[in-house]
Each structure stands twice: as C-alpha cells, then as structure tokens.
Amino acid sequence: MKRPTIADIARRAGVSKGAVSYALNGRPGVSEETRARIQAIAQEIGWRPNLAARLLSGAGAGAIGLVVCRPARFLGVEPFFMELISGIEGELAARSCALMLQVAAGHEDEIAVHRRWWGEGRVDGVILVDLHADDPRVPVMEKLGMPAVVIGHPSAAGSLPAVWSDEAAAMREVLEHLAALGHRRVGRVAGPAALAHTAIRDAAFQDSVAALGLDGAPVAHTDYTGEEGARATRRLLSSRARPTAIVYDNDITALAGLSVAQEMRLEVPAGLSIVAWDDSPLCQVVRPPLTALARDIPASGARAAELLLRMAAGEEVTGAEDPAARLRLRGSTAPAP
C-alpha cells in the first residue's frame, strides 16, 4: 500500500536514484532517452515531486478523497450526495481527518485526479461512487496500490472492498406493493444506463414484472436531473399504454414526475401512483407526500470512510452489506384506477 518513491522508479528503470533525480528535476546528467523513460515510469506509477519529503516525515496525508462525476450544480440539489457526505464527514471528524471533494467531467479526469492526489501525498485513500460495469477506475486503483473503497455492488468492484445493499430486493418489494394495489402497467424512470446499480435495478424490475404477470414495462433512462425526469414522465404519460404507476430512481426525478402529472391534470394517486428511490425530506414536504424507498445513506458513508481508514492503516478489510432499502408508504400510491 506504500506510495511510489524515487527508489521504485530507479528499480524499474534500471538506473540509480541519482539518475532519477536528475531526470525528474530537468538537470543534465542523463540522456534524453533515459529521461523520457524515467518520466514515463513516474507517470505510470503515480509519483509526484513532493512525495519524498512527505514519506521521509513518516506522516500520512490526514485526508481521504471523493471525486464525483456529476455537474457541480447538481450536487447542490441532490439529497443523496449531501447525506452521503454528511456520513463520511461524521466518521472523519471523530478521527481529525479531512475530506477532499472534487467534481470531474468523466472517468479519465477522475483517474487523473486520483493519480495526482496519490502521487503528491494529498490523500490516504479514496471512496469511489457511481460504479460502471467494467469500471476503468477499479484496475487503476488496484495497480496503484491506492487504498480505495467502493460504494456499490461487489460485482463491479474487482478486488476493492465494497459497501452495498440489495437493490434487487428493494425493487421486488416496490413491484409487489404496486401489483397488490392492482397496477398492471408500471413504468420506470431510471438513472444512467451505464451505472452498475442501474443495470441491477433494470434486471430486477423486468424480472419482477415477469414474475408478477404485469403488462409491458417501459423504462426511460435519465441523468437523474429534474429536467430529464420531467421529459421522461411526459413521454410515458403521453403513450397509448399509459402506465398507472411509475417508479423513479431518485427523489429529484420523482418530484419532477409529480409536477408533470399535475400539469397534465392527472391526479396523484387517483390517476397515477408514484414511488421514489431514496427517501429524503423533499419526498415528505410535497403534496401528496411520496411513497419512497428509504435507506440510511449517512450510515453507508460512515461505514465506507471507516473501512477506508482501516485499509490505509494497513489492515486487511472486507466489504459490508447494508440493509436493503425498505418501502415507506405515503400518499402517492393507491389502488389502480
């Protein structure tokens, strides 16, 4: 788990530590070919210039990192990340440890941030969120030897420890509830299709629809924003086989769907039942209040931070399964019209 050093570069390049120092500091004494080879190795293993002094002091960074590939404006209105960060911060504060938070445009940018943080000794490890199938961040973390904990299903986490809950069980509970109310046409407004947890929910949704003998189940994927949630809801409610219930993958899209239904003079829940994933205060203050899947998001953040700090301290850790989200019934679901 140690960070890369000049000695690591020298060993891989087959040169002395002095030659590495010359090459990385732009000093004469090595050929241009050797300099290029040393610089390429330094880049590959994540070395940065101020690393040596930090390692000589024997001190850790006293911080962990979290990079989020979402628009910065989205984070200000998305309760999930605020709750997650509150849980992480709660665990870190008790240990006098800081959280470094950054927004990135995509995985390549996020990986570059991780390499820089690790090479410069800015963090003792990172938490990865929003895992994709075959996520490119996972093998990079494994190769760097950088402590990392995933918030997501172990199937996409490689050898990294994961904090996760049973998404399929939660989806089955939702569909069973709606079927018991007599709903036959259930639509879904999902998150980004590339996300690993979206794929799990997609599969569980289709499996439950088939097992319960429900009619066709249209699914619209979005970016979790209210704008796309509203657009997807309009498409579903304007179709010939209009659903009598819609399941949303987060609270923001569910609130947008409620607004669209009201604009279309479709009463909730008499004409349309709505279920939101990840209960939040927003689900409780609207009228009608939204039936929602609830889980302890701050606890998941705290657990991920605790595992990461243990991992950074040299302990071998395994992942942790959180309780599955449970359905909280409120005024947005009713018997099918």
What pLDDT score does 45 carry?
87
Q: Which two tokens stand for residue 223?
A: 């970016």
* The Cα angle at residue 62 between residues 59 and 65, in degrees rounded to 5: 130
What pLDDT score does 59 carry?
52
Q: What is the β-pairing status of strands 273-277 and 245-248? A: parallel
What pLDDT score does 53 carry?
47
Query: Mean pLDDT by 10-residue block, N- to C-terminus, for the chain (337 residues)?
Result: 80 90 80 91 79 47 89 74 94 88 93 92 93 94 94 96 97 98 97 96 96 90 94 95 96 97 96 96 95 96 96 91 96 97
C-alpha span between 147 and 24 (Å, rounded): 26
The pTM for the full model equals 0.81
Residue linked to tokens 């960060």: 85
C-alpha span between 254 and 228 (Å, rounded): 11
Question: What is the biggest distance separating any 2 CA atoms in the chain, rounded to whole angstroms?
Answer: 82
C-alpha span between 322 and 210 (Å, rounded): 27
Contact between 272 and 244 (Cβ < 8 Å) = yes
* Dihedral over Cα of 327, 330, 332, 334: its sign: positive
